[in-house]
Each structure stands twice: as structure tokens, then as C-alpha cells.
Structure 1
Amino acid sequence: MSTGLIALLDDIVGLAKVAAASLDDVAAQATKAGAKAAGVVIDDAAVTPRYVVGFAADRELPIVRRIAIGSLRNKLLFLLPAALALSFFAPWAITPLLMLGGAYLCYEGAEKIIEAIWPHEAEATPIAAVATTPQALEDAKIRSAISTDFILSAEIMAIALATIPTSSFITQAAILAVVGIGITVIVYGAVALIVKADDVGVMLARNGGPFGGAARPIGRGLVLAMPPFLKLLSIIGTAAMAWVGGGIILHGLEEFGLGGPAHAIHGAAVVARDALPAIGGAVEWFVTALGAAIVGLVVGAALVPIVHRGLVPVLRAVRKPA
């Protein structure tokens, strides 16, 4: 009897070790997949703060919270099952869909740069047209933010799926869930800190808060630093879109046997690394990212007139009431 109990305990310990190893593997794969999607994550964090601009300070965090809940819903209820279904039924479609998402990122990045160089008059937005009360405006802004998040989250989940090695259905689901939850917490935690930083700065500048008068210069510095920081964040987000989108396009071309552009960029990165061995790793990464960004901007610039003169008029004609 005691021997059987000991054997049972050994089995339980063995199962616990297997489960712990599986959890470690899921965590490691989720970290790797999340790192691959870093560029889209940066863009997500750069884009979201604009949706709380213009609202009262006491509404900023509730708005961020509602957007974060919508983002989790996008990832876990819609995109995760869709990604698993793709992996099971149509794995061949993952690369083309990734490239399509990459092309969208390239287009967004190029359009932002073109708009910054040659600004044009903005059209009236549907949000401004339908929002007649502060609550309606807030709801409309949140819906718009969640819609934008859906596109970025789809790209994050697709990149994560493409990164996961061949594994069981449960493992894939667990990794995607960890990536989705982890990235949402990181992105919207960062957004919450960003949007409240100026309020903290004002508080410190007025009375130093719990730190006394010595903190007033820090508060003034925060208030003065936030506008240029937000502008810098927007620039980083635009660069990330071009870099990530171009990288996805290059990788997709390699998958279809067209590896020339990617090999040329890699060769240039290796030459630059060898020329500056003291900082070779950083130089190789920078040249690779720069090459991908250039490809992304070229693709995006080619797509801008196609979208503006082709797709947009067609969509307007389709949506126009009879």
C-alpha cells in the first residue's frame, strides 16, 4: 500500500515537472513572439494617446481602460480563434495575410510622412459628425480606437503565430493568449502613464506633492517635456510602421523564393558590422532596420495613390446611399 502511494507521488511529481517545463516553454515562446512584434507594439503605444486628447483629466484613465478591455476582446475573442483556425485549416494563408498587414503598415507610415511634408486639409470625420454630446464623443472615440487596435492587434497575433514553432493546438493557444494579454497590459499601462504624466507634473509644479518644494522643478520639467515627448513618440511610431512593414514584406518575399532584396540588406549589414567591430551588433541591427524601413517607405509610397485614387473613391461610391 505504501509502495503504491510512493509510486503515485512519483507520478504526480513527474507530471508536475512536465507541466512546469511546458509552462516555461510557453513563457519562452511567448516572449520570443512578443519581441518579434515589438515594432507594432511601439506603434500601438504611439497611436493610442491621441484618443484621450481633449477630454477632462478625470476621464482619461476610464477611456484608456475601456480601450484596453476592447483590445483584449479583439485579441482573445476574435483574433486568437481566427489565428488558430488559420494555423489548422489554411497555414499557407499566414504569409500572404502577414504581407497584406505589412503593406498596410507601410501605407500608414508613408502617408504620415507625406502628410507631415505636404499637409492637406483634413476632411470632416464621422466622429465629429455623429457626436452631439460629450458622452457620445467619448463613445465614438473609443470605438474608433478599438477599430484601429483591431488592425494592429491582428498584425501582432499574426506575427506571433508565424513565430511559434510547430506545436500542439493547446500550446499554440496558450502562447497566443499570453502574448495577447502581456502586450495589452504593457501597451495600455504605458499609455496610462503617458496620458497622466502631465497631470503629475502639474501637481508637482504647484506644491511638490508628497516630496515637498524640491520636486517643483521636476514637475515643471515634466509639463514642458510631455509635448515634445509625444511628438517624438509619434515619429518613433511612424518609423516603426515602416520598419516592421518593410521587414514583413521582405520576409514574405523570401518565403516565395524572392530573397534578393533581403539578402542584399543582410549583406550590407554584415559589411557595416565588420567595418565597426566594436559596436558591430548594434550597427548590423541598425542597417537591417534601415533597409527594411526604406523598403517599407517605397512600398507605402506606391500604395498611397492607389488607395487615395482607387480604393477610397470605390468605397465612397459603395457607401453612398442610393
Structure 2
Amino acid sequence: MPSGLIALLDDVAGIAKLTATSLDDVAAAAGRAGSKAAGVVIDDAAVTPKYVMGLTPDRELPIIWKIAKGSIRNKLVFLLPAALLMSAFAPWLLPPLLMLGGAFLCFEAAEKLLEAFQGGHDVAEEAVKAHSSADLENQKVSSAIRTDFILSGEIMAISLGTVASEPVWEQALILVVVAILITAGVYGVVGLIVKMDDIGLHLAKKDGAGTQAIGRSLVKAMPVLMSILAVVGTAAMLWVGGGLIVHGLHEFHIDLIPGTIEHVAQSAAHAVPAIGSILHWLVTAIGGAIVGLVVGGIIVAALHLFKKH
């Protein structure tokens, strides 16, 4: 075999090994980035089911599919290029933008709480106001995609921070992997949650007392689960939004609020070392939620005053 061909094959083998190593590095980095964003992923999964509440069962999965497509578009078309550009040219822009996104989440959560205290909205009345079920669906999908944009922004920002030292092409590839896997995971889980009652009805019609009992239990549990998720979703918007604001304050060295929350969290963790990490997270989440409630309440009050004038 000519020596030139042997050298070429050696080069190809070397390139293949290098590519395989790079892909392994990308997979590992994507795993690290995804795990760092796990808290926001849970929040996203808790927030989304409330957007299909009150709609007919046959429209639940199509609406979730629309939201999922909007979510992947948010991540890949808008947030990915913006994240890479900011990382390269204006990293100082990230904290204030995340704080603005956090303030929006706080505002949405505060509005939900205000509606709940005022008696909320009847789904039928909401549909009439929207003129048609199609209009109502479009409103819910648009609202869900707007909220997803903020949560996806945090996921991408956290992921980018985890791989900021990598080459730009590797950052982009890792963020694409994270975006696709997280979107598929979140909306796959959401789809299972909202169809749990249909799965229960199917099982209840099967032969076997045990299978039927499981089916009936799923059907009975569905309204309770949806109510819990509605509460968790609102709470998630508060603690994620408030957490973004607290983190932004720390980035700008305004440490009174962040420092106080961290001090209380560390004190709680030291008081009960056996569950120290859990208590630290819990106190931090509560602190963020309190900040979020205050910020959201101020925005809602300001907007209501503005509308009156």
C-alpha cells in the first residue's frame, strides 16, 4: 500500500478519535449543564399544566405540542444566538436582562394570586370573553410561551455559565443538546400529567381488579394533582423570578437582601446538618419567593394605578 495512503488513513483515524473525544466532552458538559438547570426544569414542568386547565381533553396534547414548539423556538432561534453573542461581546448584559425576566415572572404570579383572592375567573366566562375556543387556546399558548421564554432564558444562561470556558462551537453544540433534551423531557412529563385521567379511565375498563383500582385511583387523583400543580406553578414563578432578582442584586454588589437570605440559609443548614443542603435550598427558595411577591405586588399595584388614570 503506498505510504501516502497509509499516512492519509492514519490522519483520518486520528481525526475520528479526536471527534469521538470531543463528542464525549460535549455529552459530559451537556449533562453538567442540564443538572445545574434542574431546578428551573422542575419549575417549568410545574408551571405548564395550568395552561390546559379548563379545555376539552381532545385539545390538551395539541396545545402542549404548540407550547413545546414555541419553547424549542425560544431556545434555539432567539436565546441561543443571544446567549452566545452576549457571552462573546457583552457579558455584563446578562444580569440585568435576567432581572427583567424575573420581574416579569413575579408580575405574572402576583396577578394570579390577586385573581385567586378576588374569586378568579370562570372558564366559561373566559371563553366567552375570548369569543371562541380557538381564541382562548391562542391566548393560553401565547401566555405559556411568554412564560417559557423567561424560564428557558434562565436554563440557557445557567447552562452557558457552566461551559463558558469551552470553545464557542462547543458552547453552541452543548446548548443545542441541553435545549432539545430539556424541552423533550419537560413537555413529555407535562403530557403524561395532563392525560393521567384518560390513562386512568383506560385502565379502569381493563380486566383485573388491581388494574381497575389503579385506574380509578388515577382518575380521582387528577383534580387534586392539577390543583397542587397550579399552586406549585405560581409558587415556582415567585421563587424563580425572585431568585433571579436576588442573584442580579448580588452581581451588582447590592448585597443587603442576598446576604441576609444567604446568612439565614446557612444558619438553618448548620442548625440541622443532617438535612443541611435541603434546608439551605428551602430557605433560599422562600427568600426568593418573598422578594418575588414584593416585586410582583409593586408592579401589579403600579399597573392598576396607571390603568385608573
Q: Scaled by the length of structure 2, what TM-score is found?
A: 0.84
1:239 matched to 2:238? The reply is no
The one-letter amino acid of 1:297's match is: L
Q: Deviations over 1:2-41 (max 9, x none)?
A: 7666655554444334333333333333333334444443
Q: Which moved more, 1:109-118 or 1:165-174?
A: 109-118
Determine helix, strand or coil for the equivalent of 2:195. Answer: helix
Which residue matches 1:277? 273
Asked whether the equivalents of residues 106 and 241 of structure 1 are also in contact (C-alpha less than 8 Å), the reply is yes
Q: 1:244 to 1:143 in 2, by over 3 A?
A: closer
Aligned residues: 309
Which residue matches 1:300? 296
Asked whether the equivalents of residues 201 and 219 of structure 2 are also in contact (C-alpha less than 8 Å), the reply is yes
Which residue matches 1:110? 110
What is the rounded CA distance, in whole Å, between the counterparts of 1:126 and 1:61 in structure 2? 21
Q: 1:289 to 1:197 in 2, by over 3 A?
A: same
Q: 1:50 to 1:255 in 2, by over 3 A?
A: closer
Map 1:109-188 to 2 at 5 A.
109-119=109-119, 128-129=128-129, 131-132=131-132, 138-139=137-138, 141-188=140-187
Which residue matches 1:317? none
Q: Which moved more, 1:160-169 or 1:188-197?
A: 160-169
Q: 1:80 to 1:135 in 2, by over 3 A?
A: same
Q: 1:276 to 1:145 in 2, by over 3 A?
A: closer
Offset at 1:56?
4.0
Q: 1:173 to 1:131 in 2, by over 3 A?
A: farther
Of 262, 274, 278, which residue of structure 2 is paired with 1:266? 262
1:98 matched to 2:98? The reply is yes
Map 1:212-231 to 2 at 5 A.
212-231=208-227
Asked whether the equivalents of residues 80 and 175 of structure 2 are also in contact (C-alpha less than 8 Å), the reply is yes
Which residue matches 2:76? 76
Q: 1:252 to 1:53 in 2, by over 3 A?
A: closer
Determine helix, strand or coil for the equivalent of 2:175. Answer: helix
What is the rounded CA distance, in whole Å, between the counterparts of 1:127 and 1:303 in structure 2? 27
The one-letter amino acid of 2:73's match is: R
Offset at 1:242?
1.9
The one-letter amino acid of 1:79's match is: L
Of 263, 266, 282, which residue of structure 2 is paired with 1:286? 282
Asked whether the equivalents of residues 265 and 281 of structure 2 are also in contact (C-alpha less than 8 Å), the reply is yes
Q: 1:313 to 1:178 in 2, by over 3 A?
A: farther
What is the rounded CA distance, in whole Å, between the counterparts of 1:173 and 1:263 in structure 2? 34
Q: Deviations over 1:77-106 (max 9, x none)?
A: 222222223333322211110111112222
Asked whether the equivalents of residues 40 and 241 of structure 1 are also in contact (C-alpha less than 8 Å), the reply is no
Q: Which moved more, 1:295-304 or 1:216-225?
A: 295-304
Asked whether the equivalents of residues 242 and 297 of structure 1 are also in contact (C-alpha less than 8 Å), the reply is yes
Identity percentage of aligned residues: 56
* Structure 1 stretches lacking a partner, 5+ long: 315-322
Which residue matches 1:27? 27
Q: Deviations over 1:50-88 (max 9, x none)?
A: 333444433332332233223222221222222223333
Offset at 1:130?
5.4
What is the rounded CA distance, in whole Å, between the counterparts of 2:143 and 2:10 in structure 1? 54
Asked whether the equivalents of residues 50 and 229 of structure 2 are also in contact (C-alpha less than 8 Å), the reply is no
Offset at 1:244?
1.7
Q: How much is the aligned-residue C-alpha RMSD, in angstroms?
A: 3.1
Q: Which moved more, 1:227-236 or 1:284-293?
A: 284-293
Q: Deviations over 1:236-282 (max 9, x none)?
A: 22222222222222221121122333233222222222221222222
